[in-house]
Structure 1
Amino acid sequence: MKLLTEVIDVNELHSLRILLESNGIAFHVGNEDSARNFGFIYPARKYNIFILYEKQYDEAMKLLENEDHVVTASINLDQHRRFMVEEKTRSMNQIYKVVMYSFVVIVIIFACFVWYMEATH
């Protein structure tokens, strides 16, 4: 993930979002939710636009310079979003399994401790 640019104006952010999405460039906007979290109408900081994939960074830079640039390394953003949702679900399932297994181990250790304490008295 590489920083492409920083913008302050929300309208400029929306324009860049449309430009990048319409050309199949995967990106992330940093600080986007910070304004809403603190109740401000406008963000206290700049919006950071990061390009997710190294191979698309140069293409995105060329798009900033010339909106008519033809992107050769575009990806299908719908497929990318679906993949990311699936990966998040898989990750959450793995975290859930680890937490549950840890809980079971703790319960077993506690039960063994209680049994040991009762057996020694």
Structure 2
Amino acid sequence: MGSQLPAARPRRLTAPARLIGRLYRSASESARATAIGSMLRPLSPLALAAVADGAFAFALVNGTDDKLRLGTIASSQVAELADFAFQVDPSALLQAAEMLARPAAGTAFAAAVVALLVRQMPALRARLMPR
């Protein structure tokens, strides 16, 4: 009869993107809003509507100041956003990590995340932006 399309496999996220998702869970509301804003900034309107199944499309109309919507964003969606933003502009991911880790800078996990991202930036940039 009719042929069915195979189910899409979930995309494997980069380690920095997964770490951003974990930091997002424990960040304050203001740090979350600032971090999401820095990751959304380099994205086009089409990307905003597409990433994380459209979870960030509200930013097209309301900007990132919509605290009600930000409260409904899951850390897995933030990780997907971080992965996509990293592909567009790696520095956006580093800015987001700094915002999310700032309130928890005393924790070993936050310090490790920022150190890992800073250490990986040159290699990841070279891979994404070959000369």
Q: TM-score, normalised by structure 2?
A: 0.28
Larger relative helix fraction: 2
Structure index of larger Rg: 1
Higher relative contact order (CA 8 A, sep 6+): 2
Larger relative strand fraction: 1
Q: TM-score, normalised by structure 1?
A: 0.29
